[in-house]
Each structure stands twice: as C-alpha cells, then as structure tokens.
Amino acid sequence: MKPKLVVVGAAGRMGKRILSLAVEAGEFDIIAAVERQGHPDIGKDAGLLAAAGPINVELADVFMAAGGSQPPLATGVAGACVAVDFSQPEAAEKTVDYCLENSVALVSGTTGLSSQQREKIKAASEKIPIIYGTNMSVGMNVLFNLVGKVATMLGDEYDIEIVEQHHRFKKDAPSGSALTLAENICKATGRDIDGTLTHGRNGKDALRQKGTIGVHAIRAGDITGIHSVIFGTLGETVTLNHTANSRDTFARGALRAAKWLVGKEPALYSMADVLGI
C-alpha cells in the first residue's frame, strides 16, 4: 500500500513541484493539498494547479480543528502517513499541530522559522517522526556535511565567507541553508555563532575581523539557489559551491525524505540521516 501524503503549501512554487513529481513517481497516495486561507485557488483540483493532471484532490484551506471538532480538510486525510510542508513560517505551527493530533510524520522544509517555532518542532519530535531541513537537496546536504571538515583542515588562517543567491521573491535573508552552513562550520571549529557572523559590510572602516564568518545575501531575478563557501588566505582560495538548477532537486529530496520517514520512531531526523552521511 502506498503511503498517504499531505502536501502543505501546495499552491506555492515548491508545493506544485512536490505534487507534480509525487504524481509522476507514483509512490504516494496524495490525499490532501493545503494552502493558506483566502488563497484564490481554493477548491480547484490540486493536480491541475501543479500541471500534473487531475488527481481528484481539491486545494483546501483548513486543517482538522483541535480535538477533531470539525471535519478533516479532505476525505481520508485522517489516515495520512506523512505530510510535506513548504509553506510560510506563520503556517508551520498549524502543520505541526495537525501532525501531532493525527500521528502523522512530518517533513518540513519551511525556512525563516523563529527559535520558538524550531523549539516547537523539536518538542513535537518526541511524539512523531520529523525531518526538518533548510535544504532538501541531496547535493546541498553533502555540502553541509563537508564545510565543517574543510574549515577544520584548513585552520584559523583561512578567512571564511558565505555568499547565497536566490530569486527576488524570497522573503528571509540570509537563507536557511546559508545559516546551516555557518552553524556547521562554527560547530566544527568551536566558534560561538552568535558572535561570529558578519552580515555584509558597510562604511569606511569595515575591515574583516579575524575569526568572523561573512554572510552575504543576493536577491535577483529567478535564481533558484546558489551557495558558495569561500575559504581564503594569503596566496590561495578554496571555494565550495552548490548550484540548484531547478526546484525539482529540492522536491525530489523532500519526497525521498518522506518515503524514508514513514514508519520511523519519533525523533528529530535530518537529511543526513536519510542519506546515511
């Protein structure tokens, strides 16, 4: 039997690709597609919206109310196995509540979460299996794994700069992936991230401070996602780079994670667990 899948943020750029690729793969039974209240496409076939053909699942704007006092958002959704959420931070808590109330595994790729929202996900993982990741790309998660090792091998004499590039519509800056790269470097090198990051530079006296990590956000056009980590010292530069050529790389990674997560014990997992790295 195919795992029953709920897609949250289903009419967004990522949500549509997740839906389309899930239909194409044929490995899930898509039983619900959720969007924000007031979205103009509520009630339309989610498959048609994703250019995947009709799937007889209408885009809905409600989760089951607390305690189950209202009907579920779509027929059969109470039997969902896993939800994939690429919505906005303000919607993420509702997704967590729904998954807790219905014992549904959760793959969350929503970025820009507050520390309080991330703590809520962590607490929820004591009761349901959750994968939270700022980037679901397989290649990007390999980069996450590498940057701390490279920083340790190169040593303190190498300055570190992170440059991330995204499309003009991205709300949060720096990207969640850029922050994950910085966190992994800080963890590997014993830095306190709160006092280490320098977000851009400006002014007549903006010399680089030794031990800091520069983080720079570019927003232009339709750039899907480019992350570069620059390690530079006098005489040489080492650059690690990842370029996402389309959103499909994130969508495929999220679906791979969802398939892996079904049936797992409650815990907070990562894409590193999915990939075995």
Lowest mean pLDDT among 1-15, 24-38, 72-86, 110-124: 72-86
Mean of the pLDDT values across residues 170-180?
94
Question: What is the predicted pLDDT for the residue at 116?
Answer: 94
Q: Which of 4, 166, 216, 259 is catalytic?
A: 166
Q: Is the pLDDT of residue 73 over 70?
A: no
Question: What is the predicted pLDDT for the residue at 7?
Answer: 95
Q: Is the pLDDT of residue 267 over 60?
A: yes
Task: Please say if 166 is a catalytic residue.
Answer: yes
Question: What is the predicted pLDDT for the residue at 95?
Answer: 93
pLDDT tens-digit series, residues 113-171: 999 999 999 999 999 999 998 899 999 999 999 999 999 999 999 999 999 999 999 98
- Domain borders along the chain are 4-136+247-275, 138-243
Write the CATH number of the domain with boundaries 4-136+247-275.
3.40.50.720
Q: Is the pLDDT of residue 64 over 80?
A: no
pLDDT band at residue 68 using 50, 70 and 90 as cut-offs? very low
Question: What is the predicted pLDDT for the residue at 250?
Answer: 93
Q: Which of 39, 44, 170, 264 is catalytic?
A: 170
Output the average pLDDT for the chain.
Answer: 92
pLDDT band at residue 69 using 50, 70 and 90 as cut-offs? very low
Q: Is the pLDDT of residue 274 over 50?
A: yes
Write the CATH number of the domain with boundaries 138-243.
3.30.360.10
Task: Please say if 170 is a catalytic residue.
Answer: yes
pLDDT band at residue 78 using 50, 70 and 90 as cut-offs? low
Q: How far apart are CA 8 and CA 86, in angstroms?
A: 6
Question: What is the predicted pLDDT for the residue at 128?
Answer: 97
